[in-house]
Amino acid sequence: MVRYLVIFLMLLAPPVLAEDSISLTPYTATYAFHYRGFKAGLIHFELTPKADNTYVYTTRVEPGMLARLVVSPDAIEQTVVQIDDHGVRPLSWMSEDGKSSTDDDGKLVFDWAAQRVSGTVEDQTVTLPTRPGLQDRLSMQIAVLVALLQDAPPAPITMIDGDRIKLYSYTYKKTLQLDTAAGHFNTLLYESTRHGSSRLKRIYHAPALGYLPVRLETMRKGKRDSVLELMAVTPKEGAGAGDTQN
């Protein structure tokens, strides 16, 4: 189940770009996570702005009673990104599963000047060259949202996963109405997959929420495996926007 949480963690990102700039509105959001028909718990997301167009994007899990057997409530994943003329570029990434063992933990540092990303993932040393557009598994969706908010189609996404570089497609399918726990939304359905993978991800972006995903589904061999659904989203204090929670 940890693996499925990771899949969804890399599919969420900030909902709003400030007008005429590439500044993102800070926010908090809560999603319900369902695994094979059972509610597994909640996932909380928080975007915090820093200096020089830099943002900290953090995810925390709140597992249900049964999910606590495999997922710690202390689990956390975080990326620090900078958005400038080069686009969305991660500066660092970390993941801790909240357990004493470091088997599933990871830390990466992106040195764009030296064109190198290095660190440790699952107790394995990682040293790889950077490339334009390279993302980690959280920053990749920030890049997607920035593209959508700038009215540009998301390009194929290059992501670092452990000591490997993976390429994901991101394809528009159709527009449809969708009822969620957070309300009724007009959505744009995108599908994402990786060559050679049996897993297909469906992401329902809501333009009314700045293209924030309101529902995400993982399909395996044509069958729905997992679902993430928006419960509430609220701009953080000082964001200059009203509460969008329904």
Range of the domain at 70: 2-235
CATH number at residue 37: 2.50.20
**pLDDT tens-digit readout, 184-222:** 999 999 999 998 888 999 999 999 998 999 999 999 888
Domain count for the chain, please give it: 1
**pLDDT tens-digit readout, 125-158:** 999 999 999 999 999 988 898 899 888 888 899 9
Please tell me the least confidently modeled range out of 117-121, 143-147, 168-172: 143-147
> Considering the domain boundaries, does residue 134 fall inside one?
yes
Q: pTM score, two decimals?
A: 0.83
pLDDT of residue 243: 40
> Considering the domain boundaries, does residue 157 fall inside one?
yes
> Considering the domain boundaries, does residue 20 fall inside one?
yes
pLDDT of residue 69: 53
> Considering the domain boundaries, does residue 241 fall inside one?
no
Q: How confident is the model at residue 38 (pLDDT cuts 50, 70, 90)?
A: confident
> Considering the domain boundaries, does residue 104 fall inside one?
yes
> Considering the domain boundaries, does residue 244 fall inside one?
no
Tell me the C-alpha distance between 85 and 205, whole Å: 25
> Considering the domain boundaries, does residue 62 fall inside one?
yes
